[in-house]
Amino acid sequence: MPQARRKAAVESNTVFESLRARSNLDKLTGYSPFFHAWIADLPRLCSGASCWALVMTCLMESLGRPRDKGEPMPEWTGDLDKSWLATVCRTDRRTVDRDLKYLESSGIAQVRHTIQKTVAVRLCFRDWPGLPDYKPPDRPEPSGEPVAPKQTVELVKKPRRVKAGEYSEPVKVACAVSSFRFRAGGSVDMEFTAVVKEGEFVVQTCEVLAQGETKAKHSNVSNNLIPKSRHSRLKPEPVNSEQKAKDEAKAKHPRAEELARLFDPLLLRFCQRSLSADPVVFAEVLNAVGDVPHDFLVKFVVQRAKRPISSPKVCLSIVRDVAQSWHEITFCDEIISLQEDRLQWGPMTREQMVANLRYYLDHQPERSTIHEWAHRELQHIDGSERIARIPRVGGR
């Protein structure tokens, strides 16, 4: 049993044991008053077993609540937690909310909600004789139409070939259908039209030409077809510009497949898009990744994926941050090596330190950690021999 269910079971048993402890069945103490007149009205007013249990619980927490001798019976309950009510009535929070709404709308009780998400209830038992009987909500009668099945029904066991410009054989649909979708297989974009004609559902498809392509001047007059595209086995199928750009990017850059496998599943999960489908941004990402190691890139992207990635452009920002972090870390290793060499050669003079710091300023991007460190060191050099501090890089 999971931990949450085990904890809930223990809490429910504690609630029921506390209710049993309120009564002494031998001495006939610990009960709530139940007037005989209520038997004439409650069965016709309650909407079900959960509603009856809720009314009895409210009766226990109002008229049956312990009080001092001489005090009148309280008609209002205290602040009752909805989770506690659900446990006592052996139902869920949603059913308790629905029953409370019914008690209030039908006039059976008054319900007062508090800020702490608790409720106080007052049973209007004096008004029960004049209330109408409970009527279940009207439900539409079944129309007799078959309900669409949830499982997959194969209408065609294997793909059927259709000649260009002709219709296929009719296929019977042995189940109810509420809608349809068309899936374009292969690497060519398709357009389709659908119409119901004389009891048959007809779908007509055609290829979408890529931007810049034009149809042939001479066409087949009999069925208005392009002769070159009639038999696909003679020549390979045309590839649209987007797929062509994607394939070219993967062929030119050695890390294209690596980045596509890393970012495409994340983008499909967050925004139903992919990085490899955007050739412009994909090319910029390939240029920005540089020589960042695969393990370092994956670790950074996995940490960043804890927050949503809204578009492929965000991937470009992520890769740029990774490349910047890796560049600073590798450059920091050079500084540490320089510090070790300096300890062997002895302290550096002011001119040597200034020359090294200017080298860092010229070879580091502006506003980077190394660039800011070198700029700060140049500002604080006072002419005496000193050893510069190693910058603190990391934490991204």
- pLDDT of the chain, 396 residues: tens digit per residue: 444 444 455 566 788 888 888 888 888 888 888 899 999 988 999 988 999 999 999 999 998 888 888 888 888 998 898 888 888 888 998 999 999 999 999 999 999 988 777 899 999 999 999 999 998 877 766 665 555 556 677 777 777 777 776 777 777 777 777 677 767 766 677 777 777 777 777 777 777 665 545 444 444 444 444 444 444 444 555 555 555 555 555 556 788 888 888 888 888 888 888 888 888 888 898 888 888 888 888 888 888 888 888 888 899 999 999 888 887 777 666 565 555 555 554 556 677 777 777 877 787 776 666 677 777 777 777 444 444 444 444 433
pTM greater than 0.85: no
- The amino acid that residue 53 corresponds to is A
Q: Do residues 66 and 14 touch, judged by C-beta distance below 8 A?
A: no
* Residue the block writes with tokens 């099945």: 149
Q: Which amino acid is at 380?
A: H
pLDDT at 56: 92
| Token pair of 319 as six digits | 């890769």
- Tokens matching residue 394: 């990391």
Smallest Cα–Cα separation from 215: which of 205, 207, 226?
226
pLDDT of residue 199: 72
For 306, how many CA atoms within 13 A lie in the half-sphere containing its CB? Answer: 4
- Two tokens at 297? 């890139």
Per-domain residue ranges of the chain: 32-130, 170-175+186-239, 241-396
Please tell me the distance from the alpha carbon of residue 389 to that of residue 336, in angstroms, as a whole number.
10
Residue with tokens 């660039």: 371
Q: In Å, how far from its chain's centre is CA 383? A: 60
| Cβ–Cβ < 8 Å for 77, 120 | yes
Longest Cα–Cα distance of the chain, Å, equals: 106
Please give the pLDDT value at position 165: 67
SS3 content of the chain, % helix, strand, coil (to 5): 45, 10, 45
CATH of region 32-130, choose from 3.40.50.300, 1.10.10.10, 1.10.3720.10, 2.40.37.10 = 1.10.10.10
The residues pairing with 122 across neighbouring beta strands, listed in sequence order, are: 76, 110
CB count in 10 Å sphere of residue 371: 19
